[in-house]
Amino acid sequence: MKIDLVQLSIHDDQRGSLIAIEKNNGIKFDIKRVYYIYDTKKGVRRGFHAHKKLKQLLVTVKGSCKVLLDNGKNKEVVLLNSPTKGLVIESMIWREMFDFSEDCVLMVLADHIYDESDYIRDYEKFVEEVK
Ligand code: T46
């Protein structure tokens, strides 16, 4: 499976660092929604779904977590541990997020507003649909 990890451009100076994410600089899609996951309790695993259409970019702006990606045939685990790395997740990829560090802030940029009907939350149904 192709893992799309984007190296984000950093504006470094004597004050510190700044990263700007915008269309064509880090991501190819329009950003319609931003959300972030933080204060994740020990041992928690989140996600367990795929999206029919939604594309997203995941960035751990602080701390680290792992993301399991599954296209119905192959699975890969990606470690996100830097605010300079963005993981693009295309549609029809099953994802699970786990091993969150206590300080992890996982920011997600999405190309669409929240729509529960875009979720596939049943793994068997997901595997059937990607066949
Ligand atoms: C994804 C992974 C990476 C909203 O009301 N608006 C939103 O934009 C989102 C994302 C969630 N919610 C509500 C729906 C649930 O009642 O927040 C609650 C928790 O959402 P969920 O259980 O879907 O969270 P995760 O961590 O399992 O998945 C989330 C995203 O939903 C999903 O699109 O790809 O993060």
pLDDT of residue 109: 97
* DSSP states along 2-14: --EEEE--EEEET
> Does the structure show a pLDDT above 90 at 100?
yes
47 lines ligand 1 (CB under 6 A): yes
pLDDT of residue 18: 97
Task: Give, as one character, the DSSP assignment of residue 41.
Answer: P
> Does the structure show a pLDDT above 90 at 24?
no
**Average of pLDDT values for 92-96?**
98
Q: How far apart are CA 99 and CA 64, in angstroms?
A: 8
pLDDT of residue 25: 76
95 lines ligand 1 (CB under 6 A): yes
Among 57, 49, 59, which residue's Cα sits nearest to residue 81?
A: 59
Of 114, 116, 118, best ligand 1 pocket probe by most atoms within 8 Å of the beta carbon = 114
Average pLDDT of the chain is 96
**Average of pLDDT values for 59-78?**
98
> Does the structure show a pLDDT above 90 at 51?
yes
**Average of pLDDT values for 56-74?**
98
Q: What are phi and psi of 42, to 5 degrees?
A: -55, 135
30 C-alpha to center of ligand 1: Å? 19
Proportion of the chain above pLDDT 70, given as a percent: 100
Active site residues: 49
18 C-alpha to center of ligand 1: Å? 27
26 C-alpha to center of ligand 1: Å? 22
Specify the 3-state DSSP secondary structure of 54: coil
pTM: 0.97
